[in-house]
Amino acid sequence: MGRILAVDDELDMLALLKMIIEGYSDHQVTATNNPLEAVEFLGKEPFDLVLTDLKMPGMDGMELLAAARKMDEDSLVIVITAYGSLESAEEAMAQGAFDFITKPFRKEQILLAIDKAMRWREMVRQNKEMKKRLEGEKS
């Protein structure tokens, strides 16, 4: 079970993301339409994954991505882009997003993307733990 922060100014999409993810997986979703509030959430509690729309008023997904990575360099962000804005998705990947998904998408797509991200997260965690143990043994 993981904790996911979903951010999209389109309320329907946000409602769907929460319903689908919580309905079809064991993850818990905190959802907000306001990216500023999202940054506030990130400062307060740890999330395993951030799902964010790219184009939002006030603060776009790129800024949120940067803010999330500044707070935690290992933070995983999947960006959601509108159809036809592949370039911005590529840019987001270059800036450290873990993955991107284009709207509208099938529910299986988002669930698989989340699954992949969660497994990656677990691998990184185990890797770090092992390194630490190795270093401990050396010293």
Partner 1 sequence: MVKALGKLKNWLTGKRPRPRKPVSLAPVPALLERYRQYKRLLAANSAILTMITDLQVKMNEGFLFDMHYVRNACQRLGQEVEAMVAALTAMSGGRYQGLEEARRRVEAKIVQELSGAPLQPGPLVLPLAEVKEGQFFGAKAEKLGDLVRLGLPVPRGFAISAYAQKLFFEQSGLEEYIREQIRRSHIRDLESLKEAGKDIRERVMAQELPGELSQALALHLASLGPRLAVRSSALQEDSLFSFAGQFETFLNVPREKVETSYKEVLASQFTPRVLYYCHTSGFAYQELAMGVAVMEMVAASSAGVLYTADPRQGGEATIINAVCGLGSLAVGGVVEPDIYRVENEQIVAQEVGEKTHMHLAAPEGGLLDLETPPERKGACLEESQVLTLHNLGLILERHFGMPQDIEWALSGEGKIFLLQARPLRISRQLKAEYLPPRLKGAEVLLEAGTIASRGAAAGPVFLLEDQQIQEVPQGAVLVTRRALPEYALATSRVAAMVCERGSPTSHLATVLREAGVPAIFGAKGATTGLPPGAMVTVDAYYGNIYAGKRPELLKPPPGDLVLRQSRAWKVLERVLPHITPLHLLDPRSENFRAENCTTYHDMTRFAHEKAMTELFQIFPGGAEEDGSRRLKSNLPLEIFVIDLGGGLTPEAKNLMVVKPEHLRSRPFRAYWRGVEAAGWRGPRPVDLAGFMSVVMNAATDTNIRERLHEKNFAIIAADYLNLSNRLGFHFATIESFLGSPEESYASLTFYGGGAELERRRRRVRFLSKVLQRLDFRVEVKEDSLAARIDGYDAATLEEKLEFLGRLMMISKQLDMSMLADEAVDHYYLEFFAGIGEVSSKQ
**Residues near partner 1, by CB under 8 A:** 8-17, 19-20, 22-24, 31-34, 36-37, 40, 57-59, 82, 103-108, 110-111
**Considering beta carbons, is residue 8 or 99 the nearer one to partner 1?**
8
Which of 18, 17, 58 has the alpha carbon at shortest distance from 36?
58
Across-strand partners of 6?
31, 51
Shortest distance, position 75 Cβ to partner 1, whole Å = 20
Shortest distance, position 69 Cβ to partner 1, whole Å = 20
**Considering beta carbons, is residue 46 or 104 the nearer one to partner 1?**
104
Shortest distance, position 23 Cβ to partner 1, whole Å = 3
Taken in order 62, 68, 70, 74, the sign of the CA dihedral is negative
**Considering beta carbons, is residue 12 or 45 the nearer one to partner 1?**
12
Taken in order 55, 57, 62, 65, the sign of the CA dihedral is negative
The CA R_g of the chain, rounded to the nearest whole Å, is 15
**Considering beta carbons, is residue 62 or 111 the nearer one to partner 1?**
111
Using CA atoms, how far apart are residues 100 and 104, in angstroms rounded to an integer?
A: 12
Shortest distance, position 56 Cβ to partner 1, whole Å = 8
Cα three-residue angle 24-108-56, rounded to 5 degrees: 95
